[in-house]
Amino acid sequence: MNLYISADMEGVAGVCSWHQINARTPNSDYALYRRFFTEEILAAIAGARAGGAGDILLNDSHGPMRNVILDDLPDGVRVIFGNRKPFSMVQDAERSSGAFFVGYHGAVGEPNAALCHTYTPSVIYEARVNGIVCSEATLNAALLGQWGVPVLLITGDRTTVEGVQQTLPWVVGAVVKESIGQSCVNSLHPRAAQAVIQEAASQAVRLAAHAKPFVFTVPIELQIDVAAVEQADFIALIPGFARIGRRTVRFIHDDYAVVFKAFVAAFRLGAAATAPG
Ligand SMILES: [Zn+2]
C-alpha cells in the first residue's frame, strides 16, 4: 500500500489555543507543539508500517504547511512542505492507495470542537456540498474519493472523529482529547495519545480492504456562506460562481476536482477582499 498522510495541528493532543500552533505568535508554545505534532505523525507512520504500509507520502497541512521536524522522520518518507498548493491538504494524493487524516479538527460552527474552522476562518462561515455541511475532512475525503483513494484513519478530538465516522463509517478513529467548547480540551497525555494513534494506524491499514472512496453524487453543488459581504462580491467575480444570497455563493460542476479548486480560489480571493488595504 502507498499511504498518504495529511497532517493538521489543531487536533493534536493538548492543543486548545492558536498560541500553541502559530509560529508567528510572540512567546508562543509553537516549538513544543510542533514536536508533539511530529511525534503524532511518527506514531501514525510506525503503526502504518506495522500494519503493512509501504511507501509513505506526508503532506504537512497546517498553516504555512512547514511544521513537521523533517529530520525526525524515518527513512523512506517523502514530504510535501509549504503552502499555496492547488489541492492544499490533499495535494499529490492521486497515486496513493489509502489516506490518513492526522490532527484534524471540526468544521467551522461545530460546538465542542476546539479551534474549529474550515480552511480560512476569516472567510468561510459555512461550506456545504449537496446540502451537507462540510468540514475540511469531508471536503478533502471527497477529492481523495474522486481519485479512488479511501480515508482509512482520522485522529483528533471526539467531535471531529465521530463526525467523520457518521459520513465515512469505515474510517478508524483515534480520539486523543475531548473538546470543552472552542478553547479548552480534556486531553490524553502526549505519549498516551501517540500510543492510541499508533495502534489505530496499524488497525486502519489492516482493515483497508473494507474502506471505500467517498464521493458526492453529480451534479455537485458547492455553497459557501462567507463571513463578510465584500468577500461574496469578490468570489462572485470568479467564472462559474453565482451569488445566491447576501453572503452566499454557489458553484456547480460534475468534476469534484474542479469544485475543490473553485473552493480554494474562493477562500483565497475572499481573504484578499478583506485584507488591510
Ligand atoms: Zn491547521
On whether both 183 and 239 belong to a single domain, the answer is no
On whether both 24 and 151 belong to a single domain, the answer is yes
On whether both 114 and 52 belong to a single domain, the answer is yes
The alpha carbon of 232 and the centre of ligand 1 are apart by a number of angstroms equal to 24
Cell of 48: 502504518
Ligand 1 ion: nearby residues, β-carbon < 5 Å: 8-10, 62
| Strand 220-226, strand 124-129: pairing | antiparallel
78 SS3 class: strand
On whether both 68 and 191 belong to a single domain, the answer is yes
On whether both 108 and 235 belong to a single domain, the answer is no
Q: How confident is the model at residue 277 (pLDDT cuts 50, 70, 90)?
A: low
Residue 79 included in any domain: yes
Residue 170 included in any domain: yes
The alpha carbon of 116 and the centre of ligand 1 are apart by a number of angstroms equal to 9
Q: How confident is the model at residue 215 (pLDDT cuts 50, 70, 90)?
A: very high
The alpha carbon of 82 and the centre of ligand 1 are apart by a number of angstroms equal to 13
Residue 179 included in any domain: yes
On whether both 204 and 225 belong to a single domain, the answer is no
The alpha carbon of 14 and the centre of ligand 1 are apart by a number of angstroms equal to 14
The alpha carbon of 9 and the centre of ligand 1 are apart by a number of angstroms equal to 5
Residue 29 included in any domain: yes
On whether both 72 and 177 belong to a single domain, the answer is yes
For position 26, what pLDDT does the model report?
86
On whether both 194 and 228 belong to a single domain, the answer is no
Q: Omega before 219 cis (within 30°)?
A: yes
Alpha-carbon span 43 to 248, nearest angstrom: 41
The alpha carbon of 277 and the centre of ligand 1 are apart by a number of angstroms equal to 26
On whether both 161 and 74 belong to a single domain, the answer is yes
The answer, yes or no, to whether residue 99 has pLDDT greater than 80, is yes
Packing angle of the helix pair 30-51, 190-206 (nearest 10 deg): 30
Q: Could you identify the residue written with the cell 482493515?
A: 207
Residue 60 included in any domain: yes
How many domains, in total, are found in the chain?
Answer: 2
Cell of 211: 474502506
Can you give the pTM of this predicted structure?
Answer: 0.97
The alpha carbon of 126 and the centre of ligand 1 are apart by a number of angstroms equal to 17
What is the extent of the structural domain holding 141? 3-120+133-210
Q: Can you give the CATH number for the domain in which 158 is found? A: 3.40.50.10780
On whether both 235 and 195 belong to a single domain, the answer is no
Tens digits of residue pLDDT in 159-204: 999 999 999 999 999 999 999 999 999 999 999 999 999 999 999 9
The alpha carbon of 154 and the centre of ligand 1 are apart by a number of angstroms equal to 14
On whether both 12 and 115 belong to a single domain, the answer is yes
The alpha carbon of 21 and the centre of ligand 1 are apart by a number of angstroms equal to 8
